[in-house]
Structure formats: structure tokens, C-alpha cells
């Protein structure tokens, strides 16, 4: 079992995924097995929401950073933009949380802007062109929005996009005859 802080974040994430956006602090405390005072020792409501967003950004960052190290971030970016059915619930929940920025209940942590800048830089480094990198990011945004609001792209459609955009799957592919 993780630390109280990790249990609180896990509990809050579960509640968000189940549609409780923002999650009630009493419900988070109960699910995490801590008192409300114990929860408040670690997080107030704003800090809890920010920590959830930061956690999601870090998880995504780990995936795209690993892909960038292999020279396939562009392809990974588009594939990750189409969540699996189990991920779709989490992605929708995170989108619901981001709507809280409009009401002032959530200020996006600085890590979000830092990550977006870093991801753009990694795409530019891989693709060699800032406009092409931005295009890949925007196509990924569109794929994500389609997956969250209607019909997600099929794996075949994603592969067609990758091919059309000239995104390599295997960094050694250029070296093959």
C-alpha cells in the first residue's frame, strides 16, 4: 500500500473517473481510508485538483519521453491521442476537470505549460520542422477530441495518418534497403 498522499490521489482519481468532478473531499478521504483532517494535511481542494492534473501530465510525459528517446514520438503522439476504451474514461474525466479552469476552481499547474513546451521541442527535434511538429500536435488534439466526443479513429485510420504524415515507426527504418 502506498503513502497516504498516494492513496488520496488514487482515491480522487477513481472518483473523478466515476464522474465526480470535482470530487468531494469527504468522499476522497473515505475512499483513501484517511480522515478529512488527514486529507487536508496533504491537500486543500485546489491542491488536490492540481496534483491530479500534474500526475496525469507526468504519466503522459513518461510515455512520450520514452518514445522520443527511440525517435518515434510523432507516431506515439498520434497513437496516444486515441485512448483505449479503458483509458477513454480517464481522459474524459481529466477533460471534465480541465473545465473547472473556466470557473476558477482549478488553476492549471505550471507543469502543464512546461510539459507542452517540452513536448513541442521534442517533436521539433524529431521532425526537424516546427510547423510539421505543430501539425502533428494539432492532429493529435483532433484525434483526442474525436475519441472523447464521438467516434474515435480506428487503428487503421491512425496508421493511415502516420503514413500520410511520413512519421516513422522504427528509427532504423530509413536505413533498410
Name the residue among 20, 149, 8 with its Cα closest to residue 82: 149
pLDDT given for residue 100 in this prediction: 80
Contact 32, 43 (CB under 8 A): no
For residue 173, the model assigns a pLDDT of 39
Q: Under 8 Å CB-to-CB from 85, ≥6 apart: which residues?
A: none
Task: Map out the domains of the chain as residue ranges.
Answer: 1-43, 61-175
pLDDT at 172: 43
What class does CATH assign to 1-43? mainly alpha
Residue 175, pLDDT score: 38
pLDDT of residue 174: 40
- pLDDT for 1 equals 61
User: What pTM did the predictor assign?
Assistant: 0.80
- CA angle, 106 as apex, 88 and 30 as ends, to 5°? 70
Per-residue model confidence as pLDDT tens digits over 86-111: 777 777 777 777 778 888 878 888 88
Question: Which residues of the chain fall below pLDDT 50?
Answer: 171-177
Amino acid at each position: 500500500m502506498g503513502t497516504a498522499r498516494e492513496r488520496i490521489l488514487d482515491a480522487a482519481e477513481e472518483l473523478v473517473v466515476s464522474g465526480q468532478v470535482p470530487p468531494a473531499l469527504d468522499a476522497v478521504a473515505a475512499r483513501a481510508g484517511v480522515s478529512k483532517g488527514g486529507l487536508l494535511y496533504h491537500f486543500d481542494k485546489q491542491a488536490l485538483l492540481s496534483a491530479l492534473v500534474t500526475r496525469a501530465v507526468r504519466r503522459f510525459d513518461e510515455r512520450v519521453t520514452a518514445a522520443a528517446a527511440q525517435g518515434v514520438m510523432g507516431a506515439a503522439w498520434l497513437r496516444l491521442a486515441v485512448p483505449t476504451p479503458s483509458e477513454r474514461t480517464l481522459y474524459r474525466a481529466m477533460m471534465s476537470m480541465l473545465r473547472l479552469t473556466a470557473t476558477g476552481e482549478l488553476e492549471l499547474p505550471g507543469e502543464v505549460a512546461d510539459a507542452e513546451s517540452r513536448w513541442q521541442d521534442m517533436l521539433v527535434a524529431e521532425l526537424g520542422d516546427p510547423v510539421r511538429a505543430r501539425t502533428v500536435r494539432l492532429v493529435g488534439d483532433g484525434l483526442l477530441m474525436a475519441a472523447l466526443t464521438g467516434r474515435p479513429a480506428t487503428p487503421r485510420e491512425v496508421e493511415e495518418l502516420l503514413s500520410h504524415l511520413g512519421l516513422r515507426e522504427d528509427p532504423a527504418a530509413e536505413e533498410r534497403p
